[in-house]
Amino acid sequence: MKKIFKSLLVGLLLVNAGCADIDLAPLSEGSSENWYRDVTEIEMSLNDLLRPDFYTIDSWQWDDDFERRDDPNVMVRGTVTSQTGEVVTRWSSLYKGIARAIKIIEALESGTAQGLSDAQVDQYIGEAYFYMGFAHATLATYWGDAVINRTGMSLEDAYNLKRSPKAEVLKWAYDCFDEAIKRLPDAMSAQMRPTKSAAYGFVARFALFHGDWQKAADAAKDCMDMGVYSLHPDYGDLFVADKSPELMFYFKGDKAYDGGVGYDVVKDVKQFTPRQYGAFCNTGPSFSLFCAYPCTDGLPIDESPLYNPKDAWANRDPRFYEVIAPQVTKYSDKYEAYYAARAEGKLAEKFPEYILMRHECNQNPYATTVFEPATGKMVANQDSRAVNAHAIYSILMLKKYVKEDWADYSLYKNSGDNITPYMRYAEVLMTYAEAMNELGKCDQAVLDATINQIRARAYNGTGMEYPRVMEAPKEKLRSIIRTERRIEFPYEGLRYRDLLRWRLAEKYLSEDVYVAMEASQCAPAGWDGVSTDGLSDAFKRILKMWDDGNWPLRGTPEIDENGTPDLKPQLEIIDGHQQLLVRKNRLFQAHNYLWPVPANDILVNQNLTQNDGY
């Protein structure tokens, strides 16, 4: 039994056997027991901690903001077990990181590491405590009770360790962040590193998750008062920029490193890149996210007089068009001018927002061709069912993060070099607003300093006044705040955690995955885009959706208090027509709010208890 891989044990015993984490990091990155001797080795070890292996990312695939044509992953299909890869890897990586941080602190405090200035010693101890705080708080977030490792432990201790109550784990995490705050600089210079302001941001994030409203509000306000960070002036540009005053903690892709490396969404851009470039484009925004964006008056689509169900792309919050690639429908006010510009070869000049990468983005099922700005010609439209049987099933395509050079994905192992935000200043502002609202203290001054700043940025450059959020009862503001978080942060790893902490995952992560079209529903090869002769009934259904103005949905879905639509009526058969189809099923159960302790760790230590339901 002791020969079974001991993920937790190996991590904890790194203090006594430094080479134990060679499976995560080569020896050149600080894994031998005689490491940590000078500034170079300390810096290499700390730099290596600044990877997603240790600052773990909640995947975009775990929430309800995306639609993918294949099976949902285990995190949302109710099949998570104590042997699930993500569960085992995250638990192991967090404890390995903690053990490394302890070794760094020991080396710096004992004087083992030579040649460092007092300022360097102080900063690097602060960075190690920063990670200790992050890791323990993360363990409390996903596992509840967890093993606390403060100073390392012996082999005997490790075989007999027990999980401490979540409250104790969080207290230790916050104590570590406090130690980090005492030592870290206010802000980073050229390289992304832990800072005092980022420590406040993480304390605010974790305190919000665990319902400690006052602590969350205090930490967020401390971060805001430092004046280090600010909102990026352009929302859409933020996700293709190489730097920003809004980014507090992030990961940067690199096309040159190892042939190309990216993280989370940009780890495999082939999934989102249009078929125009030979990619899959089998993943896109969900209909649920599509409906969540309010109109420009700030009202949800089922309340706003501005919403036109026959042109659902019109009059929406500007962030809608920066996340979901815009389309011109048959009932759009732009329709005639748009298609005239195509005919004149001036689409890129007159309607540049409809160019995605290097071609026009057009899912119109009659559009057999799209405009190619580089040549000024019309070419076959691989992203419409007029041509391709596997054009995206949900009609919706991603625009957030998309860069022109994603078209060259095959040159860079399918990766993008975008920055993947891990924490940005907008989250701190939203955390402060939510915490103050739950405390019953969200007045107009708080709203103007937080959510209204974010909305103002969203409308910057549009020529429109943003819909200012006004002081209101707690329940109404709670609804506004929850919706605002969803539309501000999609594909950034926050939605899954939000659904967990709001205890809404059972509701929204157990809903079906909907698509508008299945494979083979397309026109025959060589179709002229006009004649209906020889068209299948399935493809005629798609044309009817377009002609009737049900693109992509029929009517106006009802939006609930959390900004989420009821899409079940779209399954009703009306006049022989069903608007949406159920592609896949998801299931999130009550016990999934906590993750299971890895089975191998329980096998070697019977003192470790398992979370309920596993």
3-class secondary structure per residue, 433-474: HHHHHHCCCCCHHHHHHCHHHHHHHHHCCCCCCCCCCCCCCH
Per-residue pLDDT at 224: 98
Per-residue pLDDT at 71: 67
What is the average pLDDT across 446-458?
A: 98
Assess whether pLDDT exceeds 80 at residue 30: no
Domains in the chain (CATH in brackets) are 1-62+81-183+503-510+587-614 (1.25.40.890), 285-396+525-582 (no CATH)
- The burial class, CB within 10 Å (0-12 / 13-18 / 19+), for 339 is middle
d(CA 376, CA 372): 6
Residue with tokens 């689509």: 301
Query: Nearest-CA neighbor of 333 among 301, 311, 305, 309?
Result: 311
Per-residue pLDDT at 503: 98
pLDDT band at 429 (very low <50, low <70, confident <90, very high): very high
d(CA 42, CA 415): 30
- The SS3 of residue 355 is strand
d(CA 473, CA 54): 40
Residue with tokens 């943003």: 466
Q: Which two tokens stand for residue 273?
A: 């890149």
d(CA 430, CA 453): 10
Supply angle C-alpha 30, 31, 33, rounded to 5: 105
Query: Nearest-CA neighbor of 512 among 286, 251, 335, 269?
Result: 286
Assess whether pLDDT exceeds 70 at residue 22: no
**CB atoms inside a 10 Å sphere around CB 40:** 11
- Residues with Cβ within 8 Å of residue 117, at least 6 apart in sequence: none
**DSSP letter at 74?**
T
**Greater confidence, 302 or 256?**
302
**CB atoms inside a 10 Å sphere around CB 296:** 20
Task: Please write the tens of the pLDDT for every residue from 465-508.
Answer: 999 999 999 999 999 999 999 999 999 999 999 999 999 999 99
Task: Please write the tens of the pLDDT for every residue from 457-473.
Answer: 999 999 999 999 999 99
Task: Please write the tens of the pLDDT for every residue from 63-110.
Answer: 999 988 776 788 888 899 999 999 999 999 999 999 999 999 999 999
Handedness of CA 391, 291, 318, 334 (dihedral sign): positive
d(CA 473, CA 73): 38
C-alpha torsion angle, residues 490, 371, 369, 409 (rounded to 10):
-50
**CB atoms inside a 10 Å sphere around CB 92:** 24
**DSSP letter at 420?**
E
Under 8 Å between Cβ of 485 and 557? no
Query: Nearest-CA neighbor of 55 among 421, 555, 537?
Result: 421
- The SS3 of residue 378 is strand
Assess whether pLDDT exceeds 80 at residue 6: no
pTM: 0.94
Pairs from 329-333 (Cβ < 8 Å, separation ≥ 24) = 329/546, 329/549, 329/551, 330/364, 330/546, 330/547, 330/549, 330/551, 331/549
C-alpha torsion angle, residues 110, 114, 120, 125 (rounded to 10):
-30
pLDDT band at 28 (very low <50, low <70, confident <90, very high): very low
Residue with tokens 């309010």: 294
- Residues with Cβ within 8 Å of residue 601, at least 6 apart in sequence: 6, 7, 8, 9, 91, 608
Half-sphere exposure of residue 459, counting CA atoms within 13 Å on the CB side? 18
Task: Please write the tens of the pLDDT for every residue from 346-385.
Answer: 999 999 999 999 999 999 999 999 999 999 999 999 999 9
d(CA 397, CA 551): 13
**DSSP letter at 532?**
-
- Give 101-164 as a 3 state SS string: HHHHHHHHHHCCCECCCHHHHHHHHHHHHHHHHHHHHHHHHHHCCECCCCCCCCHHHHHHCCCE
- Calculate the CA 50 to chain-centre distance: 18
Name the strand (E) or helix (H) holding 370: strand 369-372
For the chain, the residue count is 614
What is the average pLDDT across 539-551?
A: 95
Q: Which two tokens stand for residue 542?
A: 């798609």
d(CA 327, CA 553): 14
Q: Which two tokens stand for residue 448?
A: 């103007």
Task: Please write the tens of the pLDDT for every residue from 257-307.
Answer: 988 999 999 999 999 999 999 999 999 999 999 999 999 999 999 999 999
Residue with tokens 């860079």: 412
